[in-house]
Amino acid sequence: MFIRDNILSILIFLPVAASIMVLLIPRRFDALIRWFSLAAAVVTFAIAVPLFFWFDLKTTGMQFQQVVPWVKTARFAINYHVGIDGISLFLVLLTTFLVPVAMLASWRSITDHAREFYFSLLILLGAMIGVFVSLDLILFYVFWDAMLILMYFIIGVWGYQNRIYASIKFFIYTLVGSLLMLVAIIYLGFQNPTGVTFDLLELTSAGPIARNIQFWLFGAFGLAFAIKIPIFPLHTWLPDAHTEAPTAGSVILAGILLKMGAYGFLRFCLPLFPLAAVYFAPLLIVLGIIGIIYGALVAFAQPDVKRLVAYSSVSHLGFVVMGIFAFNIQGIQGALLLMIAHGLATGAMFLVVGILYDRRHSRLMADFGGVWKVMPVLGGFFMLAALASLGLPGLSNFPGEFLVVVGTFLARNWIYAALTASGVVLSTIYILWLYGNVMQGPTEKPAIRSMRDLTVREIFVLTPVILFIILLGAFPGTVLSRTEASAGRVMEAVRNREQVRGNKEQKLGVKEVVASLRANPWTYRITGRSTSFHQSQKLASAQTTRAEVSSVLGLSARIGSKQSDAKNDNHVTLNLIQGPFPPRHSELDSEPIPKLIPSQARNDVVIASCFGLLAAEADTAGVEKLNMLRDRSPSRSTVLHQSEAYLHPVTSEEKGVER
């Protein structure tokens, strides 16, 4: 089916195509421009929804992948490579959901150059989806910067009084981070032992990166993402940008753009630089805690309603940082859940603030008071958004915050958990303070008395957001079940970081591997994934190879079962689950690797040792089968170039030792 095969590309390019069509509509057809843009955004959302149902829960790798060559030179290629997993699925859904909401929210408030406004929003939509689905680092960077440019225009052209300062600050801050990231990307691509590549899957699977290089690259990537999240001392652009942006801009900034930093850590920093991530974790966790508490305290001190909500984001994103750097399944799952929840709850808060501003033309808390009496419907929506934001159980933010606190407790100790949890208490204070000052109390001011309650359009804007807030609070499991496999993979990459640290490089053959296995007990598991294949490499032979593998699965099963009854650890578990064989690099990335194996030869040795051990178990027929497999293997030239040496049947003498 066309849509299913190209769904991610459609999601990126449909809004872009629509944006160009918007530009072609003459300016005087104001209503047409708005309706057309809204329709395009809603259609994009409608196309994205099936992703939720088509998404395969059990696959840990990337789904809906697509690879198209983009830049080709003699030495390297940049591919248009997209795909999603559990980490990006809900961020894509959130993006496609929030943009039409943001459009509808600015229906009346953006009148000047509305055509260019909707043009920017639509391209921004495509670029944001691009950020979340790119699996090529250069492509990711392109979308990352494109999104930055568009947001800069949205804040700078359609923002409030102080918009120019805010937009330049936002731009320069982000650009500083992203240019460093660009250099790191290029450096990373050139470091790759199997040839220059910028493909994330190839990079993660190509083997570990040397320790000191990991630190530098983590620093460059981490700075870009930390600015985006934002982590405590780098957060100063956020209150300005959020406050000065038009409502649509604030909703998208808080709802989606802030998530890109956290997403970047999960997608790039942890899998690529696990050693550095663990090394820097204490620093980031301390900054996260500072962010939680500082953000909350400063939010409490804000006279400006919008600024208060902006600072609350600093506090909430501190939770996300804590969750990510807890490095356990609870923390990462909690962070992912909270990212979605925060997008909805804070998005709703900004919508409410925008509605209040449209009526009162002020954002100062002192100018409000007793609004509930004149705007009861708004009061209800506001109440739900506020309660969700302060983490009330049953609403969206609670499960995420809870999981993060649990994760922190498990990973560190109760002091960290308590400090993290204090954010929940503090948020209660400032959110209730905000709500009380704005909505409750006597309705004294005449300007307030004349405020009118929500229009039908505004109810349309808020209802779906609030609905999802309630749904997410009630059924967090729908999200968690889909993110679990991917979160687990990130976690494993970090957990297995130490095994990839090679001491002195040294080439080993099968015999040495077997010997070293005997000396260093380790558990080896191949989790089969069928998704990391590039389309170009999806050769017919790969299919037959897979069939052949299932026929030798009997052998592996024998080895696997051996482990269960063995008392000592000197055995290897080989769980060969169905998948391409020999497993591509990426299948091996998160696996523990015996020491002393150089990165380049790692895969060869591991695969060969699998073969070797299989051969040790098997009879002559089995060895022949393996040789046949090797010949048919699509990537034998790179993976098994030394296979002759490895595939010698292990002598009976060795067999005896092995047994």
Partner 1 sequence: MRIPFSAADWVVVIPEIILIVTAAIILMLDAFAKRASDKASPWVALIGCIAGLVAVGFMWGRHLSGFGGMLIADNFSELVKMVILTAAALAILLSVDYARREEFQQGEYYSLMLLSTVGMLFLASSANLIMVFLSLEILSIALYIMAGFATGRQRSQEAGMKYFLLGSFSAAILIYGVALIYGATGTTDMRGVASVLASRGMPGNPILLAGAGLILVGLAFKVAAVPFQMWTPDVYEGAPSPVTAYMSVATKAAAFAALTRILVFTFSDLSGVWLAAIWAVAALTMIIGNVVAIAQDNIKRMLAYSSIAHAGYILVAVASANQFGIQSIPFYLIAYAFMNLGAWAVVTAVTKKGEEATGIHNYSGLFWRNPLLAGSMAVFMFALAGLPPTSGFTAKIYIFMAAVNAKLTGLLIVAIITTIISAYFYLRITVIMFMEKHESEPAVNVPVPVAIVIGIAVIATIWLFLFPNSTQAFTDAVWRLML
Tell me: does residue 577 bind partner 1 (CB under 8 A): no
Tell me: does residue 187 bind partner 1 (CB under 8 A): yes
Sign (positive or negative) of CA dihedral 239, 245, 247, 248: negative
Looking at beta carbons only, is 45 or 170 nearer to partner 1? 170
List CB contacts of 152: < 8 A, sequence separation 6 or more: 167, 168, 170, 171
Minimum separation from the CB atom of position 335 to partner 1 (A): 29
Minimum separation from the CB atom of position 234 to partner 1 (A): 15
List CB contacts of 276: < 8 A, sequence separation 6 or more: 211, 214, 215, 217, 218, 219, 269
Minimum separation from the CB atom of position 157 to partner 1 (A): 5
Tell me: does residue 142 bind partner 1 (CB under 8 A): yes
Looking at beta carbons only, is 157 or 618 nearer to partner 1? 157
List 141, 368, 372, 468, residue binding partner 1 (CB under 8 A) = 141
Minimum separation from the CB atom of position 248 to partner 1 (A): 17
Looking at beta carbons only, is 54 or 190 nearer to partner 1? 190
Choices 145-153, 277-285, 370-378, 458-466 (CB under 8 A): range interacting with partner 1: 145-153
Segment (H or E) for 563:
helix 540-565
CA 586, CA 596: separation in Å to the nearest integer?
Answer: 20
List CB contacts of 46: < 8 A, sequence separation 6 or more: none
Looking at beta carbons only, is 156 or 473 nearer to partner 1? 156
How many whole angstroms from its chain centre is CA 162?
32
Tell me: does residue 4 bind partner 1 (CB under 8 A): no
List 163, 342, 360, 584, residue binding partner 1 (CB under 8 A) = 163
Question: CA–CA distance from 613 to each of 482, 582, 584, 586, 628 (Å)?
Answer: 35, 14, 19, 21, 16
List 38, 179, 374, 471, residue binding partner 1 (CB under 8 A) = 179
CA 143, CA 130: separation in Å to the nearest integer?
Answer: 6
CA 383, CA 386: separation in Å to the nearest integer?
Answer: 5
List 85, 116, 202, 604, residue binding partner 1 (CB under 8 A) = 116
Choices 153-161, 245-253, 384-392, 637-645 (CB under 8 A): range interacting with partner 1: 153-161
CA 399, CA 420: separation in Å to the nearest integer?
Answer: 14
Choices 36-44, 184-192, 391-399, 449-457 (CB under 8 A): range interacting with partner 1: 184-192
Three-state DSSP at 608 gives helix
E strand spans, 365-503: none
Looking at beta carbons only, is 171 or 646 nearer to partner 1? 171
Minimum separation from the CB atom of position 137 to partner 1 (A): 11
Tell me: does residue 612 bind partner 1 (CB under 8 A): no
Looking at beta carbons only, is 138 or 514 nearer to partner 1? 138
CA 596, CA 243: separation in Å to the nearest integer?
Answer: 54
List 17, 38, 47, 168, residue binding partner 1 (CB under 8 A) = 168
Looking at beta carbons only, is 220 or 345 nearer to partner 1? 220
- The footprint of partner 1 on this chain (CB under 8 A) covers a number of residues equal to 36
Looking at beta carbons only, is 13 or 52 nearer to partner 1? 13
Segment (H or E) for 647:
none
Q: Return the CA Rg of the chain.
A: 27
Looking at beta carbons only, is 74 or 456 nearer to partner 1? 74
E strand spans, 58-167: 63-72, 77-84
CA 326, CA 277: separation in Å to the nearest integer?
Answer: 11
Tell me: does residue 138 bind partner 1 (CB under 8 A): yes
List 20, 39, 57, 183, residue binding partner 1 (CB under 8 A) = 183
Tell me: does residue 566 bind partner 1 (CB under 8 A): no
Tell me: does residue 157 bind partner 1 (CB under 8 A): yes
- Are 293 and 426 spatial neighbours (Cβ–Cβ below 8 Å)? yes
Looking at beta carbons only, is 176 or 553 nearer to partner 1? 176
- Are 170 and 241 spatial neighbours (Cβ–Cβ below 8 Å)? yes
Tell me: does residue 13 bind partner 1 (CB under 8 A): no
List 3, 32, 57, 164, residue binding partner 1 (CB under 8 A) = 164
Looking at beta carbons only, is 153 or 232 nearer to partner 1? 153
- Are 379 and 371 spatial neighbours (Cβ–Cβ below 8 Å)? yes
List 20, 32, 39, 172, residue binding partner 1 (CB under 8 A) = 172
Structure tokens at 402: 């809870």
List 17, 47, 175, 553, residue binding partner 1 (CB under 8 A) = 175
CA 470, CA 460: separation in Å to the nearest integer?
Answer: 16
Q: Do strands 77-84 and 63-72 pair parallel, antiparallel, or not at all (unpaired)?
A: antiparallel
Looking at beta carbons only, is 86 or 222 nearer to partner 1? 222
Tell me: does residue 25 bind partner 1 (CB under 8 A): no
List 25, 38, 42, 180, residue binding partner 1 (CB under 8 A) = 180
CA 334, CA 113: separation in Å to the nearest integer?
Answer: 41
HSE-CB of 221 using CA atoms within 13 angstroms: 32
Choices 149-157, 281-289, 430-438, 621-629 (CB under 8 A): range interacting with partner 1: 149-157
Question: CA–CA distance from 492 to each of 133, 321, 440, 489, 592 (Å)?
Answer: 21, 18, 49, 5, 10
Minimum separation from the CB atom of position 264 to partner 1 (A): 17
User: What is the per-residue binding string for partner 1 in 63-102, x denoting contact by CB under 8 A?
Assistant: ------xxxxxxxx--------------------------
- Are 647 and 608 spatial neighbours (Cβ–Cβ below 8 Å)? yes
Choices 134-142, 384-392, 404-412, 626-634 (CB under 8 A): range interacting with partner 1: 134-142
Tell me: does residue 587 bind partner 1 (CB under 8 A): no
Structure tokens at 105: 């929210």
- Are 144 and 260 spatial neighbours (Cβ–Cβ below 8 Å)? yes
Minimum separation from the CB atom of position 71 to partner 1 (A): 5
- Are 405 and 417 spatial neighbours (Cβ–Cβ below 8 Å)? yes
Instruction: Give the number of other CB atoms < 10 A from CB of residue 617.
Output: 18
List 47, 176, 383, 459, residue binding partner 1 (CB under 8 A) = 176
Question: CA–CA distance from 633 to each of 581, 582, 626 (Å)?
Answer: 7, 7, 10
Minimum separation from the CB atom of position 36 to partner 1 (A): 18
CA 223, CA 559: separation in Å to the nearest integer?
Answer: 45
CA 128, CA 131: separation in Å to the nearest integer?
Answer: 5
Which residues of this protein are in contact with partner 1, per CB under 8 A? 69-76, 113, 116, 138, 141-142, 145-146, 149, 152-153, 156-157, 163-164, 167-168, 171-172, 175-176, 179-180, 182-183, 186-187, 189-190
